[in-house]
Structure 1
Amino acid sequence: MVLLGSFARVRPPRDRWADAALAGGVFVLAAVGGVGPLVGEREEPWPVTVFGLAMIAAASGALWFRRRRPVAVALGVLAATAAYYLVSVYDGPLLVAFVVALYAVAAEGLLRAAVALAALSVVAVGVGTLAGNEDVNGVALFMLTGWLVAVVALGWVRHSRQAYVHEVEQRAAGEERLRIARDLHDVVGHHISLISVQSTAALHRIEKDPTQARTALAAIKSSSREALRELRATLGVLRQVDEEAPTAPPPGLARIGELVESARSAGFDVRAHTSGEPEPLPTEVELAAYRIVQESLTNVTRHSRATAVTVHVSHAPREVRIEITDNGRGPARTVPGSGISGMRERARALGGELATGGGPDGGFAVRARLPHGNGASPQS
């Protein structure tokens, strides 16, 4: 068992086994195709035969390194192939090795090097044809050129495809990181703000009004428990495979009442209104609406010096409109880090919009429009 474990640690990666298999396959193909010197009547001296086999082995073996040094390998294979065809009187299929090496150069994105190598090989064969090589005529040279162009094109297509897939994966990873960061900001910022307000109130009331202090401490306990629960749900996407998924439902419009009660426990006069005919909404719309209300109430506790807040949710056939207004300091409080950019990103991601500015009573207002007539499946 120890020996098996040691072998598992030192064995090459799977792609290296594939490289070795390819090099061995090309060697077998070229050696079998050029087996003429070993059977039948001899047409060349033994030293020439040994040299030809050595060139076959060198060209085939070099393919094992084609991922690490594609251009150098292609040049070496081209030199070995040229030496083989110049010395041996037998026309073996060693050209396959150069085709594989040329494809590897193009597949690595080295288009100029691949074109230069293909042109160099065509020129070399053309010079040999002009010098009196009867094995290659003009038609064969033309066909060789077409084959090499096709090999370079196929390699470049593969490289372009891989680059596109990599770019898509990078973009998706970036968007996922942004979403997680935005959720963490909304969840942690909201509850920490409420805890800060409640702890300040508790400190001021702990001696004069112990009952109110206990109420504030109970609100701190509730806010911290809710913060931990939502933080675990947000970080659930990063959990290990063997961990259990969070079973709590995702935040949505049905839980806005919890936000309102939390803000009220922090000393704000919060009123919530709903108009229109509620209907099942896509999960992403529910989450965006909840986070916008959450972040708006967080900004009220942090920046507004307000005493009253109004939350209005309006349902329309193909969209939801949300408006949060307060009687605080107004637009002057729009400061960096307020989370407004994150709310705008949520709205834009759904094809909607979000505007901020002065409220009807001189305070601050957040107005969001979240369309949901986009074919998304409703929340079950």
Structure 2
Amino acid sequence: MTRVAWERLVDAALAVLTAVAVVMGPAVVGATLTYEGTLAPAALLGGAMLFRRRHPVAVLTVSAAVMVGYRWAGLFEGGWLWPLTPALVSAAARGRVGWSAGIGAAVLLCGLPRELAGTSGVSETAARIGVEALWLALVLTGAVARRQYGRWRDEHEARLVDQERARLAEQRLEISREVHDVVAHTLAVVGVHLHVAADTLADSPEEARAALRTAMEVRGRAMRDLKAFVGDLRDGPAGLAEVPELLDRARAAGLTATLHREGDLDGVPAAQGVAAYRIVREAVTNTLRHAAAARLDVRLAARPGELRVEVTDDGAGPAAFAAGHGLTGMRERVAALDGTLDLTSGDGFTVRAALPVAGTAAGAAAERAGSPA
């Protein structure tokens, strides 16, 4: 069912309920039901509800005039305001609270002389008008509360939409960064080696073939990196829980791989966990491809306010990173989280990254200690 059809159905149902309520009101107080005194105002007040969305103020004004006219003519017995409840709510819920309050007060003022002229005493008249005034206040309060809730709901939904758009924009930025890392570096390196091959093909065929082989190797690495990246997009980004799988790859290749864990790694936010996983993956991949290492150690430590990542091998050193785009990707991922990256070589190669983790108890304590009172 479309929104328009649903609104029409609601208006029709409200019109029927209003007409039935107007008929039942006099019956409850024991008044005689007549066509001109009961059915006619029921039809008028109920029919007016069909136009409440487009003309809420006009519907309220006409309904109030009908009710005052029938009450003063002595054709309708019941209340002064309760038959107007749907019209009052419709107008107030659309921001016409002052107009609704004014119409309601005017109806009560019109009804006051009529009530005083009747057989009821002053105290009973005051009680009736007081009950009607209290009913008016309750109706308007409910209408305002409903309007405020609707506005809050709309604002909340708008915030959710904005957050989703921001998340998608961040994802697109991350994808563009990843693709740029792979494609831009690969095209640059392949282009250089193709130029070398073209320049040396006539005079030094061996050098040209070597340049072509290097270009093919770079292309192969880029294809593998793109395949891994597409896998992340399809299956979702991996985090700290998937780091042991990287070490299983290293062990399957013949390395002695060890994983050290410190602290509450389960409490690390997803962004830092994904970045740490990709740092470890890049380091392990380069160790397997280029370092000729026999041993690999990975250390993950959740410290107060930060996550530390350390990957150490006993291989050939930083030349592995010089041959690929992994170092650039690492630096960009760490910088995106305001972290630090340190690469050292000696008896092997070590990658150290420190990723700030906001919101930890220790980190919050440190922030309070460092802030002015």
Report what 1:191 is aligned to. 179
Contact kept, 8 Å, 1:285 with 1:372, in 2: the verdict is no
Q: Aligned-pair distance for 1:213?
A: 0.7
Cα 1:254–1:200 change in 2 (3 A) is farther
Cα 1:257–1:202 change in 2 (3 A) is farther
Q: 1:56 aligns with which of 14, 39, 42?
A: 42
1:217 aligns with 2:219: yes
Contact kept, 8 Å, 2:189 with 2:215, in 1: the verdict is yes
Structure 2 CA distance for aligned equivalents of residues 162 and 217 of structure 1 = 56
1:181 aligns with 2:166: no
Contact kept, 8 Å, 1:23 with 1:62, in 2: the verdict is yes
Q: Deviations over 1:179-217 (max 9, x none)?
A: 222122113312322211012111211323111111111
Contact kept, 8 Å, 1:103 with 1:155, in 2: the verdict is yes
1:30 aligns with 2:22: yes
Contact kept, 8 Å, 1:322 with 1:367, in 2: the verdict is yes
Contact kept, 8 Å, 2:48 with 2:59, in 1: the verdict is yes
Amino acid at match of 2:138: A
Report what 1:96 is aligned to. 82
Structure 1 CA distance for aligned equivalents of residues 276 and 307 of structure 2 = 11
Q: 1:228 aligns with which of 227, 230, 237?
A: 230
Structure 2 CA distance for aligned equivalents of residues 254 and 169 of structure 1 = 33
Amino acid at match of 2:269: V
Kindly indicate whether structure 1 or structure 2 has the higher relative contact order, using CA contacts under 8 Å at least 6 residues apart: 1
Cα 1:66–1:138 change in 2 (3 A) is same
Q: Aligned-pair distance for 1:150?
A: 0.9
Amino acid at match of 2:5: P
Q: Aligned-pair distance for 1:78?
A: 1.0
Contact kept, 8 Å, 2:68 with 2:80, in 1: the verdict is no
Structure 1 CA distance for aligned equivalents of residues 185 and 48 of structure 2 = 70
Q: Aligned-pair distance for 1:360?
A: 11
Q: Aligned-pair distance for 1:279?
A: 5.0
1:251 aligns with 2:243: no
Q: Which consecutive unaligned segments of at least 5 residues does structure 1 have?
A: 1-7, 40-48, 234-247, 260-272, 299-311, 328-337, 345-353, 375-380
1:152 aligns with 2:144: no
Q: Which consecutive unaligned segments of at least 5 residues does structure 2 have?
A: 198-207, 247-257, 283-297, 311-317, 322-331, 345-351, 362-373
1:15 aligns with 2:7: yes
SS of the equivalent of 1:126 reads helix
Contact kept, 8 Å, 2:307 with 2:355, in 1: the verdict is yes
Q: 1:277 aligns with which of 253, 262, 286?
A: 262
Structure 2 CA distance for aligned equivalents of residues 25 and 200 of structure 1 = 75
Q: Deviations over 1:54-77 (max 9, x none)?
A: 333121111122233322221121
Q: Aligned-pair distance for 1:254?
A: 5.8
Structure 2 CA distance for aligned equivalents of residues 72 and 156 of structure 1 = 19
Contact kept, 8 Å, 1:70 with 1:104, in 2: the verdict is yes
Contact kept, 8 Å, 2:301 with 2:307, in 1: the verdict is yes
Q: Aligned-pair distance for 1:369?
A: 1.6
Report what 2:293 is aligned to. none
Structure 2 CA distance for aligned equivalents of residues 89 and 316 of structure 1 = 81
Report what 1:80 is aligned to. 66
Q: Aligned-pair distance for 1:287?
A: 3.5
Amino acid at match of 2:220: A
Amino acid at match of 1:73: V
SS of the equivalent of 1:68 reads coil
1:71 aligns with 2:63: no
Q: Deviations over 1:124-173 (max 9, x none)?
A: 2235446x355682221111111100110111112222222222222222
Q: Which has the larger radius of gyration?
A: 2
Q: How does 1:198-347 map to 2 (within 5 A)?
A: 198-206=186-194, 207=197, 208=208, 209-231=211-233, 233=234, 248=235, 250-253=237-240, 277=262, 280-282=265-267, 285-291=269-275, 315-316=301-302, 320-322=306-308, 343=336
Amino acid at match of 1:290: V
Q: Aligned-pair distance for 1:101?
A: 1.3
> Structure 2 length normalisation: TM-score?
0.63
Structure 2 CA distance for aligned equivalents of residues 205 and 281 of structure 1 = 45
Structure 1 CA distance for aligned equivalents of residues 79 and 17 of structure 2 = 12
Report what 1:305 is aligned to. none
Amino acid at match of 2:239: G
Task: Report which of the two has the higher share of helix.
Answer: 2
Q: Deviations over 1:29-75 (max 9, x none)?
A: 32344575657xxxxxxxxx537643331211111222333222211
Report what 2:93 is aligned to. 107
SS of the equivalent of 2:262 reads coil
Structure 2 CA distance for aligned equivalents of residues 190 and 128 of structure 1 = 80
How well do the aligned residues superpose, as a CA RMSD in angstroms?
4.5
Return 106-115 or 95-104, whichever deviates more. Answer: 106-115
Report what 1:4 is aligned to. none
The number of residue pairs the alignment matches comes to 294
Report what 2:158 is aligned to. 170
Identity of aligned residues (%): 19
SS of the equivalent of 2:77 reads coil
Amino acid at match of 2:232: E
SS of the equivalent of 1:315 reads strand
Structure 1 CA distance for aligned equivalents of residues 36 and 229 of structure 2 = 77
Structure 1 CA distance for aligned equivalents of residues 260 and 358 of structure 2 = 16
